[in-house]
Structure 1
Amino acid sequence: MATPETYTHETAPTQYVDVNGVPFAYRTFGKADGLPLIFLQHFTGTMDNWDPLVTNGLAQNHRVVLFDQAGVGNSGGQTPTTVAQMTRDAYDFIRALGFEKVDLLGFSLGNFIAQQLVLDHPGLARRLVLAGGAPAGQGAEEFKYVTSNLGGKSPKDILLYLFFADTASSQQQGEAFVQRLQRRTTDRDTPSTPQVFQAQYQAIVNWCTTPEPSLDRLAEIKQPALVVQGNNDTMFPTRQSVLLFEKLPNAQLSLYPDSSHGSLFQHARLFVEQVSYFLQAED
C-alpha cells in the first residue's frame, strides 16, 4: 500500500481536497509521522516550481505538503488579489487536511502568507521558515521594477533573472536549478495564467504598500523563526529580511553569499541542512 514515505517529489501523486467548494491540488511525501511541513509558494509558482533538492531533502525527516493556491496550477477557483484572502485559503486548506498544528515554510509571496497565517492563527504553527521576503509595507518599488523587465524573456530566463545573482557562479547554479525542475516528468501542473500573474502582482504590491511604519505586529509572532535570504536580493532587498529578523522576537538570520532572491535553491543543500536542524531543535 502506497504511503507518503514511498513517494518523492518526482513521484507523489497529485491529490485534491475540497476547500469551501473549490478543489485544491496538493502532493504529500516524506515521513508519515510528526508535524507536516507546509510549503507556501512564490509569485506565479506552482508545485512544480519547488526544487526537488529542497523538497526531497526535507522529506527525509518531515512530511512535506505542497499545494497550489486557488486558481494556480491544478487548483480550481480564481486567484485572490490580496494576501489576506490567500491566507484564509491556506488556513482552510490546512484544516481541510485535518492538521491542527504544522510547521510553515514560506518563500517570497509565501513568506507573506506565512507571516499573516501566524498573526491570524497564533496556535497553528510551531516553527516558521521565512525565505526571500519582507515585512508588510516594504519593497513595492523594487518589486515593480524587477517585474517590469520580464517582457520578452523565456520562462527559463525569467527564473535566472529573478532568482539568481548577475554573476557567472550564481547563473551557473541557476542553470542547474532549472534542470532540476524538470525531474518530475508526469502529472505536472498547468503553468500559471495571466490571471494568476495579475492577481498575485496586485496582492504583493498591496502587501508591500500597507502602512505599517512601526512594524509592531511582528512582535506578536512568538514562534521560533528562521529568516533566510541571499546577500543581494533585487526583488525584495536583503535589508528587508534583516529588518524582519530584527522585529521578530524569536528569530535567527541566515544570509547566503553570491545569491539573490532564490538563495534557498542556489544553496539548496545548505538550506536543507539548516532548516532540518532548525525544525528539529527543542522548543
Structure 2
Amino acid sequence: MSQDYLTAPNKTITSTSGITFTYRELGNDKDIPLVFFNFMAGTLDTWDSRLINRLATKRHLIIFDNTGVGNSSGKVPTSIRQMALDALTFIRALNLKQIDVLGFSMGGMVVQELLELDSTIVRKIILAGTGPRGGVGVSIAEKINNPKFLKSLSHINNIRSYLFFTKIPNEKMMTKTYLKQIKTRKFNRDKNATPAVYLRQLKAINAWAKAKPNDLSIITKPTLIVDGANDIMVPTINSYELNRRIPNSTLIIYSDAGHGSLFQHFKRFSTSVIQFLEE
C-alpha cells in the first residue's frame, strides 16, 4: 500500500445506495484504519500531504470524498445528519468493522452525528477545529461582521487563505506554504469543490448550528480535541465546550494558531495523534 499521499491512487467503491465514493488509502492495512472527515469545500487534495505522510508511517489511513464532493457521485446533502448517514454507508461498503475517526471542522460535526447513528464501530475519536451542535458562533450567519470572513466569500479557496492561519506573526507565510502544498500533486487530482457544493454544505452547517445541542455525555470513547487559540471559523470556545462535555476527552490548544492548527503544527499534531491512537 502507498506511503506517499502525492502518488496514492484514487480508488472507488459503490455502496448499496448507488453512490460511488472516491477515496485514497495509505499505510499498513493490518492496523485499525483512521478515517478522515473533511472540512467545508474540502476534497482529497485539500489535505496537507506532509501531515498525511507522517501519519501513514504509523497508521492505516482512509481519506474519502463524501456524497457529491470531488469525484464522488450524488448530490451533496443539506444536512449534517445525512452526511453522517452517507459516511456510514461508505464505511460499511468497505466492510470495516472498527475504525478510528478524525474530523476537521465540518468533518468533526459529521463525526458527532455518526457517533449518534452507530458508535459501536468507532474505537477512538479526534476532533479538530470543530464544535458541538448548536455551538457558539458556528453559524456562518454569525460571521457577517468579520472582515476576513467577508473577504473569504469572494472565492472558495479564500476560505483557506484567510481563515486557516489567523492572528499569528507569520500568517502570510503559513497560508502561502499550505496553498502551495495542496497543489503539489500533479496527476490524478481530485475534482475541486464547486460553488454548488459550497452552498449546500453552508446550508447544512447553518441548520446544524441552530439545532438543539447534542448530548455529548454519550460519547464514552477516548477523544482527542485539538484547536488553535485564535480560531475564528469555529470559535475556540467550542473546543473547550467539547472537552467539558465529552467525559473521556483530552484537549490540546496551540496558542499561536487559528482554524488550521493541524496543518500549521503538522509535526506536533501528527505526533500527538499517533501517541493517542497507540495508547
Same fold (TM over 0.5): yes
Establish whether residue 40 from structure 1 lines up as the match of residue 29 from structure 2.
Answer: no
Q: Tell me, in whole angstroms, the C-alpha distance in 2 between the residues paired with 1:109 and 1:153.
A: 18
Q: Tell me, in whole angstroms, the C-alpha distance in 2 between the residues paired with 1:23 and 1:112.
A: 22
Residue equivalent to 1:23: 20
> Match for 1:8: what amino acid?
D
Residue equivalent to 2:165: 164
Deviation at 1:149, TM superposition (A): 3.4
SS of residue in 2 equivalent to 1:114: helix
Q: Which digits, 9 at most, give the CA deviation of each residue in 1:75-127, with x for residues without a partner?
A: 01000000000000001101101101000000001001111111211201100
Residue equivalent to 2:78: 81
Residue equivalent to 2:266: 268
TM, length-normalised to structure 2? 0.94
> Match for 2:161: what amino acid?
L
State, as a whole percentage, how many aligned pairs show the same letter: 35
> Match for 2:277: what amino acid?
L
SS of residue in 2 equivalent to 1:149: helix
SS of residue in 2 equivalent to 1:168: coil
TM, length-normalised to structure 1? 0.92
8 Å CA contact 1:170–1:258 kept in 2: the answer is no
Cα distance, 1:204–1:140 mapped onto 2, change above 3 Å: farther
SS of residue in 1 equivalent to 2:197: helix
Q: Tell me, in whole angstroms, the C-alpha distance in 2 between the residues paired with 1:56 and 1:141.
A: 30
Residue equivalent to 1:59: 56
Q: Tell me, in whole angstroms, the C-alpha distance in 2 between the residues paired with 1:13 and 1:249.
A: 38
Residue equivalent to 2:4: 8
8 Å CA contact 1:12–1:27 kept in 2: the answer is yes
Q: 1:149 aligns with which of 151, 157, 164?
A: 151
Q: Which digits, 9 at most, give the CA deviation of each residue in 1:121-147, with x for residues without a partner?
A: 120110000000000001456633255
Structure 2 segments unaligned to the other structure (5+ residues): none
Deviation at 1:249, TM superposition (A): 0.5
Task: Report the RMSD for the aligned CA atoms in angstroms.
Answer: 1.5
Q: Tell me, in whole angstroms, the C-alpha distance in 1 between the residues paired with 2:266 and 2:86.
A: 28
Q: Tell me, in whole angstroms, the C-alpha distance in 2 between the residues paired with 1:274 and 1:170.
A: 23
Q: Which digits, 9 at most, give the CA deviation of each residue in 1:142-194, with x for residues without a partner?
A: 63325543243572x43120111133323322221122112211100111112
8 Å CA contact 2:40–2:201 kept in 1: the answer is yes
SS of residue in 1 equivalent to 2:151: coil
Q: Tell me, in whole angstroms, the C-alpha distance in 1 between the residues paired with 2:155 and 2:196.
A: 18
Establish whether residue 197 from structure 1 lines up as the match of residue 198 from structure 2.
Answer: yes
Q: Tell me, in whole angstroms, the C-alpha distance in 2 between the residues paired with 1:41 and 1:191.
A: 13
> Match for 2:193: what amino acid?
S
Deviation at 1:7, TM superposition (A): 3.9
8 Å CA contact 2:139–2:209 kept in 1: the answer is no
Establish whether residue 206 from structure 1 lines up as the match of residue 207 from structure 2.
Answer: yes
8 Å CA contact 1:170–1:259 kept in 2: the answer is no
8 Å CA contact 2:108–2:127 kept in 1: the answer is yes
Cα distance, 1:184–1:204 mapped onto 2, change above 3 Å: same
> Match for 1:252: what amino acid?
T
Establish whether residue 95 from structure 1 lines up as the match of residue 92 from structure 2.
Answer: yes
Cα distance, 1:88–1:151 mapped onto 2, change above 3 Å: closer
Deviation at 1:258, TM superposition (A): 1.3
8 Å CA contact 1:143–1:236 kept in 2: the answer is no
Cα distance, 1:112–1:125 mapped onto 2, change above 3 Å: same
Which deviates more from structure 2 when the two are superposed, residues 177-186 or residues 49-58?
177-186
Residue equivalent to 1:126: 123
Number of equivalences? 273
